[in-house]
Amino acid sequence: MPSDQPRTAYVVKVYPRFSETFIVTEILAREAAGETLSIYALRPTTDSRFHPQLAQVRAPVTHVPRPYKLSAEWETLARAQAELPGFGERLGALMPLLVRLDPSDVGQAVDLALRLRRDGIDRVHVHFANMASWCTAIAAALLDIPFSVTTHAKDLFHDDVDRVVLREVLRRAETVVTISDYNARFLLTEIDPDLGDKVVLVRNGLELSRFTYRDPATPGPALHVLAVGRLVEKKGFSFLVDAVAGLRAQSLRAEVRIVGEGELAADLAAQVAAAGLQDAVSLVGSRSQAELVAELDWADVMVAPCVVGADGNADGLPTVLLEAMASGVPCVATDVTGIPEAIHPATADAPATGILLSRDRAGLVSRVADALQQVADPGWPRVEVARAARSAVERDFDTTTQAALLAATTTGALV
Residue 137 lies in a domain: yes
Q: Are residues 156 and 58 in the same domain?
A: yes
Give me the pLDDT at residue 21, please: 84
Structural domain boundaries, residue 19: 8-205+398-411
Q: Are residues 97 and 63 in the same domain?
A: yes
Q: Are residues 278 and 244 in the same domain?
A: yes
Residue 3 lies in a domain: no
Q: Are residues 131 and 94 in the same domain?
A: yes
pTM for this model (two decimals): 0.90
Residue 15 lies in a domain: yes
Residue 301 lies in a domain: yes
Q: Are residues 51 and 166 in the same domain?
A: yes
Q: Which residues of 227-236 are buried (b: 16+ CB within 10 A; e: fewer)?
A: bbbbbbbbbb
Q: Are residues 288 and 342 in the same domain?
A: yes
Q: Are residues 167 and 36 in the same domain?
A: yes
**SS3 readout for the chain:** CCCCCCCEEEEEEECCCCCCHHHHHHHHHHHHCCCCEEEEEEECCCCCCCCHHHHHCCCCEEECCCCCCHHHHHHHHHHHHHHCCCHHHHHHHCHHHHCCCCHHHHHHHHHHHHHHHHCCCCEEEEECCCHHHHHHHHHHHHHCCCEEEEECCHHHHCCCCCHHHHHHHHHHCCEEEECCHHHHHHHHHHHCHHHHHHEEECCCCECHHHCCCCCCCCCCCCEEEEEECCCCHHHCHHHHHHHHHHHHHCCCCEEEEEECCCCCHHHHHHHHHHCCCCCCEEEEECCCHHHHHHHHHHCCEEEECCCCCCCCCCCCCCHHHHHHHHHCCCEEEECCCCHHHCCCCCCCCCCCCCEEECCCCCCHHHHHHHHHHHHHCCCCCHHHHHHHHHHHHHHHCEHHHHHHHHHHHHHCCCC
Query: Which has more pLDDT, 68 or 328?
Result: 328
Domain count, the chain: 2
Residue 414 has pLDDT above 80, yes or no: no
pLDDT in tens, 9-51: 999 999 888 778 889 999 999 999 999 999 999 998 877 667 6
Q: Are residues 256 and 192 in the same domain?
A: no
Q: Are residues 407 and 385 in the same domain?
A: no
Q: Are residues 405 and 383 in the same domain?
A: no
Give me the pLDDT at residue 3, please: 47
Residue 1 lies in a domain: no
> What is the end-to-end Cα distance of the chain in Å, rounded?
10
User: Residue 413: which pLDDT band, with cuts at 50, 70 and 90?
Assistant: very low
Q: Are residues 178 and 306 in the same domain?
A: no
Residue 2 lies in a domain: no
Residue 73 lies in a domain: yes
pLDDT in tens, 244-297: 999 998 989 999 999 999 999 999 999 999 999 999 999 999 988 889 999 999
- Tell me how far CA of residue 287 lies from CA of 17, 44, 257, 277, in angstroms: 13, 21, 12, 22
What CATH number should be reported for the domain holding residue 308?
3.40.50.2000
pLDDT in tens, 90-119: 999 999 999 999 999 999 999 999 999 999
Residue 228 lies in a domain: yes
Q: Are residues 200 and 219 in the same domain?
A: no
pLDDT in tens, 167-189: 999 999 999 999 999 999 999 99
